[in-house]
Amino acid sequence: MLNVLFGSISRYCGFIIDSIRRDFQSRYQSSFLGALWLILQPVAMISVYTLVFSSLMRARMPDMSTPFAYSIYLCSGVLTWGLFTETLNGLVNVFLNNANILKKLNFPRICLPIIVSVSSLINFLIILALFVLFMVVSGTFPGWIFFAIIPVLLVQMIFTVGLGVILGVMNVFMRDVRKFVAILLQFWFGLRP
């Protein structure tokens, strides 16, 4: 079963790559600053957290001497949460947003969740690179332990894709699912550690 799945995905690899490229082009095409918004948003978030929590509130982490520790702690959680919500929201709507393609073209349906997930992951990796650059410049990069994020992100993406596909299929039959997920994510954001 998995061989058939991976075989069909590899045959439609060009379709997946072109769709991801088209998604990024359409996302920033009509804006004046274009893809620069992809960089400005995380830079603004990191700057605000650093200014508010490090300078104004002087929040500190226990056993950490750097003034940036608390803002780095917050940013790391918000960045991974952003990956989760962007991927989940995209997957909840993926089948409805691509209904015309689904009716006209014959391709493995698993390609659509892959397109949404990879697009969100690329967006996250760009933001993460800026965050790592901030940690390096501020002298707070943790070293090799940083790469422990890879298995954690893998588990998070598997969970998100599984949940998103289930909710996306449910959303085809009950359109209230999308609105319910939006409310659920607001509560989930407040309840997470």
Q: How confident is the model over 103-144, as pLDDT tens digits?
A: 887 777 888 899 999 999 998 998 899 889 888 888 888 889
Number of domains in the chain: 1
Put simply, whether the predicted model's pTM sits higher than 0.85 gets the answer no
Beta strand segments in 107-190, E:
none
* Among 17, 183, 187, residue whose Cα is nearest residue 111: 17
Domain that holds residue 10: 2-191
Q: How confident is the model over 50-72, as pLDDT tens digits?
A: 777 666 666 565 666 676 777 77
